[in-house]
Amino acid sequence: MIVALAYMPAGGAAQQTSAVSTAEVSPQRALLDQYCVTCHSQRIVSRPAVPDENLQITQLRNVGLTLDTEDVTNVAANPEVWEKVVRKLRVGAMPPPPRPRPDQATYDGFRVWLETELDRVAAVNPDPGRTLAFHRLNRTEYRNVVRDLFDLDVDVSELIPADAPDEHGFDNNAGALSFSPALLERYVSAAHKIARLALGVSPPGPVSATYDVPLNLMQDDRRSEDLPFGSRGGVAIDHTFPVDGLYRVKVKLQTNYVQFVRGLDIPHVLEISVDGERLEQFTIGGEAPGLPAPYSFAGNIRGDDEWESYQMRFSDAGLVVEVPVKAGPRVVGATFPREQWEDEGVLQPRQYGFALAVNDMPDTNPRVASIEITGPLTDEGPGDTPSRRRILTCR
């Protein structure tokens, strides 16, 4: 009933020999033999392919539906086949014109009967789909569960190894989400660290977390809704401080491949903030001593020793601030106040690849390369955090 052969005679159904016993032919069996088996039969499907074969014959062979071999009185034996039949009957696709069709009442009656039988079979033998006894959460699911349970957003990419969708398809494929002993250890270790963070347990000592900014990220405009209006470049990161205490925030500027800091021909102001509150402003650039290397050749043609030492070691060495911070999730930002002017002359194309890595760009804007947060340098207790409020009901 999926594809019809328009050229076959209407009386062909009477010539079909059903594989189902004809001792007691049910009305449903008689209906199939009269209107469906002409095309959807073992005789058609098993016919050898020949050159210049009719396309409909080829389609019927590829579909492989043989209703003459199916027992319509025992739908439970092959429910997938009868589901296909129901889908075609619901839209009135079979039999297709100009093949003869039963009257509408008979047509609808057979469809309703078949749907009822399928529902009855499904109720007796429910099929919930894949029923693997146990599978783990992937990284995204694990992060979402931690967020929903503890009101704590944790980047678990460093705690749990990545899944391999290129090997197993989707990364939520239950068949691929198994546990090895080594992987189980990683999940247990991740749970231990997350539990300590959620409860505000003091770490054994200061811990550093570094947030790198991609080299290709354009930093000539405001980069985030968490950064001030009128800012340029930089980055705003979400960081969870484990306890109340003193923390160190250190900013590194972008360099070329031999560590010459970019954009220091003229002075620029860098601002560091936590939750939008300014912590410190620094002025960088415009004071390099000695004779510089030619533009865009730093690292390939030497400048004065004093200039090279300043560019590589001292120009961004002092971009550090120590500040008391309350425990919990905070937004740490580092950005530059935007200077309201436009470059003159012909606009230059954006650099990529080798040129982007090599060029020291002394006359462009400096860019933030990373933010490093270290602490707690002093520990003043767990504080009041959303995760502690979610977990601890009594105080």
Mean pLDDT is lowest, of 75-89, 100-114, 161-175, for 161-175
CB 36 within 8 A of CB 94: yes
Better pLDDT: 90 or 58: 90
**What is the pLDDT at residue 24?**
63
Res 97: pLDDT: 85
What average pLDDT does range 277-300 have in this prediction? 88
Cα 218 to Cα 115: distance, rounded to the nearest angstrom = 59
Q: Which structure tokens are listed for 59? A: 């389609």
User: What residue type is assigned to position 180 of the chain?
Assistant: S
23: left (phi over 0), alpha (psi -120 to 50) or beta: alpha
Extract the tokens encoding 355: 């040129």
Surface-to-core class of residue 308, CB atoms within 10 Å of its CB (0-12 exposed, 13-18 middle, 19+ buried): buried
**Choice between 17 and 197, residue whose per-residue pLDDT is larger:** 197
Q: Looking at residue 48, what is its pLDDT?
A: 83
- Cα angle, residue 50 at apex, residues 49 and 55 outer, rounded to 5°: 75
232-256: burial string, b at 16+ Cβ within 10 Å, e else: bbbbbbebbbbbbbbbbbbbbbbbb
What pLDDT score was predicted for residue 21? 46
Instruction: For residue 197, give the amino acid letter.
Output: L
Mean pLDDT of the 34-48 span: 84
Q: How confident is the model at residue 273 (pLDDT cuts 50, 70, 90)?
A: very high
pLDDT at position 394, please? 73
**pLDDT score of 200:** 94
Among 236-245, 341-350, 386-395, which stretch is predicted with the lowest mean pLDDT? 341-350
Report the range out of 143-147, 255-259, 288-292 with the highest average pLDDT: 143-147
Q: What pLDDT, in 10s, does the model give residues 210-267?
A: 999 998 888 988 999 999 999 999 999 999 999 999 999 999 999 988 888 998 888 9
Region of poorest pLDDT, from 61-70, 289-298, 346-355, 372-381: 346-355
Residue range 318-337: average pLDDT? 96
User: Rounded distance, CA 329 to CA 386, Å?
Assistant: 8
Q: Is residue 263 a contact partner of residue 364, using CB atoms and an 8 Å limit? A: yes
Shortest CA distance to 150 belongs to which of 197, 190, 186, 202?
197
Report d(CA 248, CA 291) in Å as an integer. 34
pLDDT at 18 over 60: no
At 164-193, the pLDDT tens digits run 766 667 777 777 788 788 989 999 999 999
Percent of the chain with pLDDT over 70: 90
3-class DSSP state for residue 104? helix
DSSP string, 133-179: S-----HHHHHHHHHHHHS----GGGTSPPP-HHHHSSTT-GGG---
**In degrees rounded to 5, what are phi and psi of residue 144?**
-65, -40
pLDDT at 19 (0 to 100)? 43
Residue 5 pLDDT exceeds 80: no
pLDDT number for residue 335: 97
> Residue type for 109, please?
G
Mean pLDDT on 352-356: 72
pLDDT at 347: 75
**Range 300-323 average pLDDT:** 89
Task: Name the average pLDDT for the chain.
Answer: 85
Domains of the chain, earliest start first: 12-124 (no CATH), 139-199 (no CATH), 207-339+349-391 (2.60.120.260)
Distance CA 301, CA 362 (A): 14
DSSP string, 245-281: EEEEEEEEE-B-TT-PBSS-SS-EEEEEEETTEEEEE
Q: What confidence score (pLDDT) does residue 133 get?
A: 61
In this prediction the pTM is 0.64
The predicted structure's pLDDT at residue 13: 39
Strands 320-325 and 245-253, sheet pairing: antiparallel
Reduced to 3 states (helix: H, G, I; strand: E, B; else coil), residue 378 is strand
Does residue 1 have a pLDDT over 80?
A: no
pLDDT at 343: 67
Q: For residue range 24-40, what is the model confidence (pLDDT) as tens digits? A: 678 888 888 888 888 88
